[in-house]
């Protein structure tokens, strides 16, 4: 009998469904789950609230040393897949606000910020089986992951999903604005010099544009069963 992969890395652009797929996969497998993007979003929210420029790397690193960001299983049954707290405050949904969307890419592009948060992210994987999602899991954070998946979708479909998510939470949104924001995020995430969004050479590519969540999960579960770990 093949051993199941201990670490599963899922990368992909904003709005591709990484968090939804990763969280459900982790639940089905009984694994820990970490969306590394939430760590950067929490740092961004802290910077906005504290008046720290998202372009000031040194100030951001100092800020990380002053605040406490915690990740835990869902504490409220409101559709979330994890609970994120900032200095004890539940900011899970606040991390999806437009101001965070507009500023998280510059924050995550700073080498020292990424280095400061890298140890926190890797420590989760060292504690047991994990499904980790983000932009550079398979290339930087867990380059030795047993199974790597690059989850993608057309930018138009990703914008549709993101707008539907916002509307479901009662947040007014404009499709064209959401689409433009995603295109800007793609350009920044793929073009940054440090840990850019990229598909690892040994990652399985999955295009979810025309697939349901269940179909994507079934495909990845097939990859888990067929993994030579």
Q: What is the pLDDT of residue 1?
A: 52
Q: What is the pLDDT of residue 74?
A: 84
Which of the residues in the chain have pLDDT under 50?
Answer: none
Q: What is the pLDDT of residues 11-63, one digit of tens each?
A: 999 899 998 999 999 999 999 899 998 999 999 999 999 999 999 999 999 99
Q: Name 174's Cβ contacts closer than 8 Å, sequence gap at least 6.
A: 163
Q: What is the pLDDT of residue 2?
A: 63
> What's the CA gap between 23 and 82, in Å, rounded?
8
Domain architecture of the chain: domains with CATH: 7-215 (3.40.50.300)
State pTM to two decimals. Answer: 0.82
Environment class of 39 (CB within 10 Å of its CB; exposed 0-12, middle 13-18, buried 19+) = buried
């Amino acid at each position: 009998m093949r051993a199941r992969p201990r670490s599963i890395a899922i990368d992909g652009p904003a709005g591709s469904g990484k968090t939804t797929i990763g969280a459900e996969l982790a639940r089905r497998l009984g694994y820990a789950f970490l969306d590394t993007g939430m760590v950067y979003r929490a740092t961004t929210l802290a910077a906005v609230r504290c008046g720290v420029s998202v372009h000031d790397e040194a100030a951001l690193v100092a800020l990380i040393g002053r605040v406490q960001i915690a990740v835990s299983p869902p504490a409220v049954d409101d559709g979330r897949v994890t609970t994120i707290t900032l200095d004890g405050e539940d900011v899970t949904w606040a991390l999806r606000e437009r101001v965070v969307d507009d500023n998280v890419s510059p924050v995550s592009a700073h080498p020292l910020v990424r280095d400061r948060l890298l140890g926190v992210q890797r420590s989760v994987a060292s504690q047991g089986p994990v499904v980790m999602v983000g932009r550079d899991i398979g290339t930087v954070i867990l380059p030795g992951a047993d199974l790597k998946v690059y989850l993608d979708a057309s930018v138009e479909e990703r914008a549709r999903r993101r707008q539907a998510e916002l509307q479901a939470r009662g947040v007014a949104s404009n499709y064209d604005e959401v689409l433009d924001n995603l295109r800007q995020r793609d350009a920044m995430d793929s073009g940054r010099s440090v840990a850019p969004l990229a598909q690892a050479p040994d990652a399985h590519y999955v295009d979810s544009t025309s697939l349901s969540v269940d179909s994507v999960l079934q495909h990845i579960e097939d990859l888990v069963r067929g993994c030579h770990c």
